[in-house]
Amino acid sequence: MSEKEREWGKIVLSIKNCTACPLHKTRTHPVPGEGSLNAKVMFIGEAPGRREDETGRPFVGAAGKLLHELLSLAGLRREEVFITNVVKCRPPNNRDPTEEEVEACSKHTKKIIKLVDPEIIVTLGNHSGRYIVEVVGGGEWRGVTRSRGRPLELRIFGAVRKVLPTYHPAAALYNPRLRAKLEEDFRMLKKLITPQEKLSGKRRNLLDFLGKG
C-alpha cells in the first residue's frame, strides 16, 4: 500500500467518525469521494443524494450519468479523475447544504485536495464554486452564472492551481440550455489539461518505445 493510500484510509475513517455537523445523524453512508489519488483533475460537487447515500459513492445517480457523458467530452475516464463533494453526508430530502455544513466538512475537503494535489479543480454548482474560489482560494465569487466557464488561477495551499467553475450536472438534467453550457465548459476543460508529455518534461515518441530514441 502506498503512502497516499494509507493517508486516504485515514481520511475515510475520520469522515466515518465525524460528528462535526448534524448530517451524520440522518445519513445512511458517508460519501468521502473516489477516484485516482494521482488525478490531474478533481471534481467537487455539492452533497450526496439518495443513491449516493445508499451506496457510499459519489455521483452514481442521474446527475452521475450526465457527469460520465461530460467526462468523455473532456477526454477523461471516471477512474482517472477524483470526485468528491463539499458536504460528505446527505442533507435530508436533498435540500441544499448550509454554509455551516460546508464549513464543518471543510477540514475533510482540504485534506482531500492536499492529498490528491490536482492540477485542475472543477467546481460543480454554486456551493462548491463559492467554497473553493472564496474560502480556499481567497478569490471573489460572483455566483455560478457569472463565474462558469471562466478558468481562474488561484493559490491553493501554497501552489497556483487552475479552477474551472461550472454548473451542477443536476441543474442541467431537464434544462437543455444549461446542458449546452456544461458541454462547452467540459470541452474547455480538455484544453486546460496539461498533456502528460509536458508534465514529465520529455516528449516520448515511437522510437523511445522501441528503445531507439
133 in contact with ligand URA (CB under 6 A): no
82 in contact with ligand URA (CB under 6 A): no
101 in contact with ligand URA (CB under 6 A): no
Residues 6+ apart with CB under 8 A from 137: 152, 154, 155, 156, 161, 163
70 in contact with ligand URA (CB under 6 A): no
Q: Which stretch binds ligand URA (CB under 6 A): 54-62, 111-119, 137-145, 146-154?
A: 54-62
Grid cell listed for 50: 439518495
Q: Which is nearer to ligand URA, 46 or 195 (CB)?
A: 46
Q: In what order do the strands lie in the sheet with 120-124?
A: 34-35, 82-85, 41-45, 120-124, 159-166, 152-156
Q: Which is nearer to ligand URA, 45 or 165 (CB)?
A: 45
Distance CA 186, CA 124 (A): 11
129 in contact with ligand URA (CB under 6 A): no
34 in contact with ligand URA (CB under 6 A): no
Which residue type occupies 73?
A: L
Residue selected from 15, 47, 136, 189 as contacting ligand URA according to rule CB under 6 A? 47
Which residue is nearest to ligand URA, using beta carbons? 45
CB of 109 to ligand URA, least distance (A): 13
Catalog residues that contact ligand URA under the rule CB under 6 A.
31, 45-49, 52, 58-59, 61, 63, 85, 170
